[in-house]
Amino acid sequence: MKLPRRVTICEVGTRDGFQIEPDFIPTERKIEVVNRLAAAGMPRIEVTSFVSPKAIPQLRDAAEVMAAIARRPGTVYSALVPNDKGAVRAVDAGVDEIHTVLSASESHNLANVNMTIGESLTRLAAVAEVARRAEVPVVSGISCSFGCPFEGDVPTDHLESVVARLVDMGARGVGLADTTGMANPAQVARVLERLVPRFPGVEWTLHTHDTRAMAIPNILAAMEHGVTHFDASIGGLGGCPFAPGASGNVCTEDLIHCLHAMGVETGVDLDAMIEISKRVQEIVGRVLPGQLAKAGKWNRRYPLPGGVRERIPARP
Ligand code: COA
Ligand code: ZN
């Protein structure tokens, strides 16, 4: 396999995950999780979102969370914004990077942000202006890049034209999001073969959801095509409240385990991540989908059943 030496993970659990929890996660718990993720060496954290509190009441404390976290030097703290109002709030809160949201499907964009794609692009141009003045880089996420739960297929021509508009606005990076887990590895490869050479210099991120157990296969396909930035959620939290059938992101500790087992570095302390995942399960009050917190790492060993050791033949 063609694997990179190192990949960069952006933890999105406190945003993509906590936004969909039925109970409001107390502000102190959010701060605790962000601080523990940074201490575990997570290089990028999408802390929260600056969206309408009516749309996402779970993240109405975005400014308080940003103000209270311990800023670890070297960690990039970002937040999601849908419009210029969100960008101004995010810049005031001191984010290092703005992540914008827009969908490649008209239906999902209307359901999610109450705008057509054209209206969103106008708002995102205003976001880019706010970011440019504040000298904050922008990474533009595109929801439903590989399919829409309402419309089905999203033609690659159409995705390409949306990417072109965002790159023209000065996006440093583009995040291709598989919002409801519709992508498959061959499709990811096809889309990247088309887009990556067309937009040189863009930093590509793949944002996966494991709704149909294809998240890690999709990430493997993206790595084969040179992508080295991936979003992931602690414990496999996550989901979009405005996309029916959406479920959790790829689980961060499962992904890190897979990468480390293959010799790909992340700079993140896997043991610490397993402990954080267990803590997040306590906070949300349920077992999360991640496998590693249940199974242990690949090198976990069990005691032999009685009477077996004596019967193992000596190696010749
Ligand atoms: N932050 C805080 N408040 C905001 C805001 C922002 N970024 N953007 C708009 N608002 C407020 C407005 O001030 C207005 O408040 P008021 O009713 O007290 O006057 C209200 O929200 C409605 O504003 P409007 O511009 O008419 O927006 P809308 O109702 O059409 O909603 C969005 C559009 C984009 C603001 C809303 O759909 C949204 O926040 N969506 C986020 C969806 C999301 O995060 N999905 C999951 C991530 S993929
Ligand atoms: Zn998502």
Ligand 1 atom nearest to 59, measured from its CA: 44
Q: What is the chain's alpha carbon radius of gyration, rounded to the nearest angstrom?
A: 20
91 lines ligand 1 (CB under 6 A): no
Residue ranges of the alpha helices (H) in 145-249? 156-168, 185-198, 215-224
To the nearest 10°, report the CA torsion of 15, 21, 25, 30.
-30
Strand-pair partners of 231: 10, 207
Strand-pair partners of 140: 100, 174
- 183's tokens: 């992508």
83 lines ligand 1 (CB under 6 A): yes
The pLDDT of residue 245: 87
70-96 burial string, b = 16+ CB within 10 Å, else e? eebeebbbbbbbbbbbbbbbbbebebe
Residues 6 or more apart whose CB falls under 8 angstroms from that of 134 comprise: 91
Ligand 1 atom nearest to 82, measured from its CA: 34
Please give the distance, rounded to the nearest whole angstrom, from the Cα atom of residue 56 to the centre of ligand 1. Answer: 9
Fill in the DSSP letter of residue 166.
H
Q: What is the pLDDT along the chain (316 residues), one digit of tens a residue?
A: 999 999 999 999 999 999 999 999 999 999 999 999 999 999 999 999 999 999 999 999 999 999 999 999 999 999 999 999 999 999 999 999 999 999 999 999 999 999 999 999 999 999 999 999 999 999 999 999 999 999 999 999 999 999 999 999 999 999 999 999 999 999 999 999 999 999 999 999 999 999 999 999 999 999 999 999 999 999 999 988 899 988 999 999 999 999 999 999 999 999 999 999 999 999 999 999 999 999 999 999 999 999 999 999 999 8
Ligand closest in space to the Cα of 243: 1
Please give the distance, rounded to the nearest whole angstrom, from the Cα atom of residue 293 to the centre of ligand 1. Answer: 36
Residue type, 151: E
The pLDDT of residue 154: 97
Report the nearest-CA residue for atom 43 of ligand 1.
112
User: Looking at the annotation, which residues are catalytic?
Assistant: 240
18 lines ligand 1 (CB under 6 A): no
51 lines ligand 1 (CB under 6 A): yes
Report the nearest-CA residue for atom 20 of ligand 1.
52
How many Cβ atoms are within 10 Å of 309's Cβ, its own excluded? 9
114 lines ligand 1 (CB under 6 A): yes
